[in-house]
Chain A
Amino acid sequence: MNKDQTLKSKKTNLNSNLLGLFIFMVAVFIVMGLIKPQTYFSAANFQSMCFQFPEIGILAIGVMLPMITGGIDLSMVGISNLSAIVAALFMIHVIPEGASEGTQVVMVITAFALAIVVGIACGFFNGLIVTKFGTPPMIVTLGGQYLFMGIAIILTEGKPQLGFPEFFQELGNGTIGGAIPIPLVFFIIVAVITYYILQKTPYGLKLYLIGANQKASRYSGLKVDSLLRKTYGAAGLMSAIAGFILIARTNQANADYGTSYTLQSIMIAVLGGTNPNGGAGTVSGVVMAVLTMQFISTGINTMGLSNVNFLRQLVWGVALIAVMAINYFSAARKAKKALQST
């Protein structure tokens, strides 16, 4: 093979995967739209989609971070619920009856800060165990999931927590200018900041290096343990944000809410090109993956079938396997080409 060609194929490797995902996303969008075009291609439908995906989207971006380092976080939903419950308990018990709007805003911001602190602390705890004892992240965070859920159950005695200020519910259900859902704004902020951190800062690049070769990272002088603790802390932070939006939208906090989100967020991260073995993963990929999943799920909802939940999961599963198969075959083809050129 001539040198320029090999060069090109290597450089565009990553971009071609993202391009493939983009085409897949557009195709899904169109196919799903054709089921019931009038309902699907309406402003109301787009708005409702934008209310639905931010929570899972933030979780998927969150889980991508430890996955880039070659780890994983199975405790994100546990952290979401625990931090949301701490915020909920604060709002329910501290905000006085009939408080002014100003007080409400301050209290909600305090509650948000509290949730963030709890989220980061939980994530940091995961990171500490992973780095101190060298336990596989899968085991540590699986344990973490049960630990955080357990604490949440003790705090709430297993009962749902209700009764938040009006203003708070706006964060989950309100819009900016009657068009842009507030949860979407949270998602965009998280996505943009994560994008910048991963692409533009040394910290971001170091995450990829740890995932590519942890031993070489140590030998290159990277402070691997501290970087990993920060990364699990960041995943905890995103869990807290997702949890906060969730209780604002549903107006209640539960110790065991959204347990199916754990695996869904990992599925979306992988679909978005995150390598479960570490070293690869992009925000743009995960954003496209979460949109793809949302298009599928909305499309199926427009069919108006009764067993919609099962069908949705089935189609999601097929989509994931299809993308993996496509990636596998294109990688195999590239490998074959590379072999022949050695």
Chain B
Amino acid sequence: MPDVFLRVNNIYKSFAGVKALRNVNMTLNYGEARCLVGENGCGKSTLIKVISGVYKPDSGTIELNGKTYEKLEPMESIENGIQVIYQDFSVFPNLTVAENIAMNTLRAEKAKLVNWKTIRRTAQEALDRIGVKMDLETNIEKLSVADRQLIAICRSLLNDVKLIIMDEPTTALTKKEVNSLLNIIRNLKKDGISTIFVSHKLDEVMEVSDTVTIMRNGEVVADGEVKDFDMSKFVYYMTGREVTTEKFVPTYEDQSELLRVENLSAKGGFKDISFTLNKGDVFGITGLLGSGRSELAQTLFGYYRATAGNIYINGVKTEIKNITDAMDEHIGYVPEDRLTQGLFLSQPIKINLLASVLDVYTKKMQLMDKEGQQEAVDKQVHDLAIKTPDVDNLVSTLSGGNQQRVVLGKWLATLPQILILNCPTVGVDIGSKEEIHNIIKKLANAGMGIIIISDDVPEVMNTCNKVAVMKKGRLINTYTHDEVTEEQLSSELS
């Protein structure tokens, strides 16, 4: 058996004049775990699609198992043992674990009848192979994101896999789940199975990867062993510039109390939460998925109703029964899941920015005030530096970072005094992430009170002046940012 499983030679690929890949080379040995990183639009996805046969390169060759292909077909890629696990995992939520795992094998065998015993046996074997225990009869819709991902991995294992390509595998996972995923990868490596990670979250994949390829603007700008890189070097190669991170110190003069929460509880969500948010504060609440962090945020925004406790805004006791109440108090909420909760993907950028202020910009006869709307849109596009040639373009044409700015802009247009951001930089590349952090700091320094919910510890440390850890529905510790270190927060989290 040769050492090299995959070799990509001098690949060029352009779409209608735009060069997506320029002279890309990459080598992958059996059992090697390689990390493919780069900002959005750098060509990572295109390269993955070339390897999996979805795109045909303009020039260059792909070598698989020593055989050279000029035009690789998707089926050839699969037959050579390449499996891509996409972000949505392509699982069937209405089917059981066993059915989902065994699905492809069943189809490959062209079975006309379903043998439930075989299905269960095949599924169990696949689960055993990665050392995971799961009830075979559970419907996938009841499972966590992490479990769905494991199922996608199990399914690919059944196809005599040689290379698993994982697109953003850790985006939706908690620290613990990431660790167990990385363990699985380590085991697969021992079996000689190679892995390519496509990821933004460098610290995580660095733990398990042997080698790294960094891309920028369609070119490979760095390639080597992970141990030769450190974080700042990564960031430098990815963005082409040094990104500096300074701790946030509030500078707004009037640091009077804006929001005080006392013993707030919601059944099944969280219990006895108390904290104070001053004007100009950025307050970070960090906790794992299921710690009650999202429920707390959504209760403050009126999406859920608190069952006990009090909320004081500017010292006045306030009841927030629904979102309208929250908006009347000028509370804004940037939700966790941009795509399903934040954006209207089929609508233009402009409409997305205006969604929460449609009733503000009106003229007589209930008609919309188009000039007022346009001014509001222009202001947000300018203030947030949303990169688009035209606000009438669909919001789906924007990159993740710019989409997040649109959601942010939608709320800034309502002139909030309190802004709650739930995981504001998930799926946003490093350069954009830093810019969003700067926007947040600027808003706080203009007097807004900001609450950030995030499990990204460096993010919380860099942007917040107060940090609280949330666990099992309770706030267990609250610190100012100079009282605590990143390591300490991380260990308190898990």
Q: Hey, which bits of chain A sit against chain B, CB under 8 A?
A: 1-4, 6-7, 10-11, 200-203, 205-206, 208-209, 212-213, 215-223, 279-280, 340-342
CB distance from A201 to the nearest CB of B (A): 5
Closest to A213 in B: B344
With A1-B17, A219-B333: A7-B393 Cβ-Cβ less than 8 Å: yes
| Smallest CB gap from A340: residue in B | B15
B324 contacts A by Cβ under 8 Å: yes
Contacts of B345 in A (CB 8 A): 212-213
Closest CB pairs A-B (n = 10): A202-B358, A1-B16, A212-B344, A220-B355, A220-B356, A221-B327, A340-B15, A219-B341, A213-B344, A212-B346
Determine the distance from Cα of A10 to Cα of B359 in the docked complex, in whole angstroms: 27
Cβ of B336 to closest chain A Cβ, rounded Å: 10
- Measured between beta carbons, the chain B residues less than 8 angstroms from A208 are 347, 351
Set of chain A residues within 8 Å of B341, measured between Cβ atoms: 215-216, 219
A202 to B370, CA, bound (A): 11
CB nearest neighbor in B for A11:
B392
**B368: A residues at CB distance < 8 A:** 200-202, 205
Chain B residues, Cβ within 8 Å of A340: 15-16
Since A212-B347, A216-B340 are in contact, a sample of 16 more A-B pairs with Cβ atoms closer than 8 Å, ordered by chain A residue number, is A1-B15, A1-B16, A2-B16, A7-B393, A10-B397, A202-B359, A205-B351, A212-B345, A213-B343, A215-B340, A216-B341, A216-B355, A220-B355, A221-B327, A280-B346, A340-B15
In the complex, B488 has a CB within 8 A of chain A:
no
Interface string of B324-344 (1 = CB under 8 A from A): 101100000101000011111
CA distance A215 to B303 in the complex (A): 11
Report yes or no: A209 in contact with B362, Cβ–Cβ below 8 A.
no
Q: How far is the CA of A4 from the CA of B356 in the complex (A)?
A: 29
- Chain B residues, Cβ within 8 Å of A222: 355-356
A-B residue pairs in contact (CB < 8 Å), sample of 5: A10-B394, A212-B345, A212-B346, A216-B355, A217-B355
Given contacts A3-B389, A201-B367, A218-B323, contact A209 B17 (CB under 8 A): no
CA distance A220 to B352 in the complex (A): 9
Q: How far apart are the CA atoms of A273 and B320 in the complex, in Å? A: 41
Point out the residues of chain B lying under 8 angstroms from A279, CB to CB. Answer: 344, 346-347
Contacts A340-B16, A341-B15 hold; do A216 and B358 have CB atoms under 8 A apart? no
Contact present for B389 and A342 (CB under 8 Å): no
Q: Contact check: which of B15, B343, B390 meets A216 at CB < 8 Å?
A: B343
B residues less than 8 Å from A217 (CB atoms): 344, 355
Q: How far apart sit A325 and B327, CA to CA, in the bound complex (Å)?
A: 44
Q: Does B7 interact with chain A (Cβ within 8 Å)? A: no
- Which residues of B lie under 8 Å from residue A212 when comparing CB positions? 344-347
Q: Which residues 349-376 of B sit at the A interface, judged by CB distance below 8 A?
A: 351, 354-356, 358-359, 362, 366-368
| Complex interface: chain A residues within 8 A of B390 (CB) | 7, 11
Of listed B324, B343, B344, B390, residue having the most chain A CB within 10 A? B344
- Chain B proximity of A70: nearest CB distance (Å): 11
Contact of B335 among A202, A219, A280 (CB under 8 A): A219
Q: Is B410 an interface residue (CB 8 A)?
A: yes
Instruction: Give a binary string over B39-75; 1 marks a CB under 8 Å from any A CB, 0 the rest.
Output: 0000001100000000000000000000000000000
8 Å CB contact of A7 from B346, B367, B389: B389
Query: Is A341's CB under 8 angstroms from B16's CB?
Result: yes
Contacts of A202 in B (CB 8 A): 358-359, 362, 366, 368
* B14–chain A nearest beta-carbon distance, Å: 10
Of A206, A213, A219, the most chain B CB neighbours within 10 A belong to: A219
Using known A-B contacts A10-B394, A213-B345, A216-B342, determine if residue A1 contacts B18 with beta carbons closer than 8 Å: yes
Chain B residue with Cβ nearest A203:
B366
Complex: A10 Cα to B392 Cα, angstroms = 9
> Within the complex, what minimum Cβ distance (angstroms) separates A333 from chain B?
14
Residues of B within 8 A of A10 (CB): 392-394, 397
In the complex, how many angstroms separate the beta carbon of A104 from the nearest chain B beta carbon? 34
* Bound CA–CA A11/B392 (angstroms): 7
A69 and B466 alpha carbons, distance in the complex (Å): 42
Task: Provide the residues of chain A in CB contact with B17, threshold 8 Å.
Answer: 1-2
Interface string of B396-414 (1 = CB under 8 A from A): 0100000000000010001
Complex formed: what's the CA distance from A32 to B3 in Å? Answer: 72
Closest Cβ–Cβ distance, residue B453 to chain A (whole Å): 14
Q: Inside 8 A of B342's CB, which chain A residues have their CB? A: 216, 219
Residue from the list B303, B340, B347, B366 in contact with A209, Cβ < 8 A: B347
Docked-complex contact B358 and A206, CB < 8 angstroms? yes
**Cα distance A215–B362 in the bound complex, in angstroms:** 24
| B462 vs chain A, min Cβ distance (A) | 26
A207 CB to closest chain B CB (Å) equals 11
Q: Which residue of B lies closest to A201 (CB)?
A: B366
B18 engages A209 (CB within 8 Å): no
How far apart sit A219 and B327, CA to CA, in the bound complex (Å)? 11
Please encode chain B, from 88 to 103, with 1 for each CB lying within 8 Å of some chain A CB and 0 for all others. 0000000000000000
How far, in angstroms, from A3 to B17 measured CA to CA in the complex?
Answer: 11
Please give, as numbers and ranges, the residues of chain B lying within 8 Å of A220 by CB-CB distance.
Answer: 355-356, 410
**In the bound complex, how far is the Cα of B323 from the Cα of A174, in angstroms?**
51
* Chain B neighbourhood of A341, CB < 8 A: 15-16, 18
CB of A11 to closest CB in B, whole Å: 6
A91 to chain B, nearest CB (A): 34
Contacting residues, chain B, for A7 (C-beta < 8 A):
389-390, 393
Contact: A209 with B351, CB < 8 Å? Answer: yes
Distance, CA A340 to CA B58, complexed state (A): 13
In the bound complex, what is the Cα–Cα distance between A323 and B190 (angstroms)? 56
CB proximity of A76 to chain B, nearest CB, Å = 25
Point out the residues of chain A lying under 8 angstroms from B389, CB to CB: 3-4, 7
Counting chain B CB atoms within 10 Å of each CB, the highest count among A2, A202, A223, A280 belongs to A202
With A202-B368, A223-B324 known as contacts, the answer to whether A216 contacts B397 (CB < 8 A) is: no
* Bound complex: CA A226 to CA B354 (Å): 20
